[in-house]
């Protein structure tokens, strides 16, 4: 594998703690002969540093790799832009869990050195595309999930779920999470959904506090096309990876399917998916090892 020559560094917005590690990364990458770019917001955290910067879409589009410093939420915020330009992401964890941003701060330089020597693996992740029937041409991508939730009224939502044109079920609940395998360890997990390995070609639907306990999470093929009609939804809201929102009214329909694009993650060669699960979810990892 070739090393990356032009690297964009994005730090967690409005976080003073990113200044030092971003500066260290820029200094190291320059010593390796790489060109560095940062986005406008990250540049504000680097007073006095001579580094090329610009709007996030511009600097990502001109890069071979995006290095993200923050938590999984920061990486999720970059995922759509990176996928649009087919640029891989490498995450350095400054947050809590770090399922996606899986390189620790104390290993970031060693990991970047290995990456620049071609010692890394890549991991393509499926993303969902969601659109409302009012604006079917304006699809929005989600690496984790598309979630429908009740609003301030507190009223339950009644939904009609259709899969590949076939009626699946009516759901009366606080909400519904439609998730990729990547998102199965996020909101869908707290809603009682299963953990799904990232390479599985599927979509997960997990009800949130269903009125009927017989409404359970279901896993369907990744080729499926989902339509959700909001039968009763006074002030329901739709969140895309908790970063973007879709406006949809009672009687409106939401269409969800797997997008053609993917998000490519870069990991160190030591990356171990099940090891990450053991660490982050506090599983007992010693017995039988």
Helix 108-116 vs helix 19-31: crossing angle, to nearest 10: 30
272 catalytic? Reply is: no
Mean pLDDT of 59-63: 97
Token code pair at residue 172: 């009366």
Whether 148 shows a pLDDT value over 80: the answer reads yes
Name beta bridge partners: 54: 39
- For 182-234, the pLDDT digits (tens) are 999 999 999 999 999 999 999 999 999 999 888 999 999 999 999 999 999 88
Average pLDDT value for the chain: 92
Q: What are the C-alpha distances in Å from 169 to residues 6, 10, 203, 218, 287?
A: 49, 42, 16, 11, 42
Is pLDDT at 172 greater than 90 in this prediction? yes
Is there a contact between 150 and 156 (Cβ–Cβ < 8 Å)? yes
| DSSP output for the chain | -PPPSEEEEEEPTT-GGGHHHHHHHHHHHHHTT-EEEEEHHHHTTSTT---EEE-HHHHHHT-SEEEEEE-HHHHHHHHHHHHHTT--EEEEE-SS--SSS-EEGGGHHHHHHHHHTT-EEEEEEEEEEEEETTSTT--EEESSEEEEE--TT-PPEEEEEEETTEEEEEEEEEEEEEE-TGGGGTHHHHTTPPP--TT--EEEEEEEEESSTT---EEEETT-EEEEEEEE-SS-EEEETTTEEE---TT-EEEEEEEEEEEEEEEETT--HHHHHHHHTT---STT-
- Give bridge partners of residue 227 from the DSSP assignment: 162, 255
CA-to-CA dists, residue 43 to 15, 64, 237, angstroms: 12, 19, 33
CA 175 to chain centre: 20
* Residue (of 103, 79, 91) closest to 241 by Cα position: 79
Structure confidence at residue 98 (pLDDT): 77
Active-site position among 35, 58, 64, 72: 72
- pLDDT tier, 247 (very low <50, low <70, confident <90, very high otherwise): confident
Domains of the chain: 6-119+269-280 (3.40.50.10330), 127-260 (2.60.200.30)
pLDDT at 286: 57
pLDDT band at 147 (very low <50, low <70, confident <90, very high): very high
pLDDT for the residue 288: 54
């Amino acid at each position: 594998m070739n090393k990356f020559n032009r690297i964009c560094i994005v730090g967690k917005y409005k976080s003073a703690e990113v200044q030092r590690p971003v500066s260290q990364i820029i200094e190291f990458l320059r010593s390796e002969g790489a060109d560095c770019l940062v986005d406008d917001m990250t540049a504000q955290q680097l007073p006095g540093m001579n580094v090329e910067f610009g709007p996030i879409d511009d600097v990502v589009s001109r890069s071979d790799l995006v290095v993200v410093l923050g938590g999984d939420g920061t990486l999720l915020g970059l995922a759509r832009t990176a996928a649009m330009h087919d640029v891989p992401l490498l995450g350095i964890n400054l947050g809590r869990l770090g399922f996606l941003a899986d390189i620790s701060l104390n290993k970031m330089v060693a990991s970047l050195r290995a990456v620049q020597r071609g010692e890394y693996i890549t991991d393509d992740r499926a993303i969902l595309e969601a659109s409302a029937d009012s604006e079917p041409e304006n699809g929005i991508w989600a690496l984790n999930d598309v979630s429908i939730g009740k609003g301030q009224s507190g009223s339950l939502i009644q939904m009609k779920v259709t899969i590949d044109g076939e009626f699946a079920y009516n759901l009366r609940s606080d909400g519904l999470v439609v998730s990729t395998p990547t998102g199965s360890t996020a909101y869908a997990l707290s809603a009682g959904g299963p953990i799904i390995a990232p390479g599985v070609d599927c979509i997960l639907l997990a009800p949130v506090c269903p009125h009927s306990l017989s409404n359970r999470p279901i896993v369907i093929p990744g080729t499926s096309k989902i339509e959700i009609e909001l039968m009763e939804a006074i002030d329901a809201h739709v969140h895309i990876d908790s970063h973007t929102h879709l406006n949809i009214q009672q009687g409106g329909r939401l269409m969800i399917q797997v997008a053609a694009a993917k998000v490519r993650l870069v990991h160190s060669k030591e990356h171990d998916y099940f090891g990450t699960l053991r660490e982050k979810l506090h599983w007992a990892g010693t017995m039988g090892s």
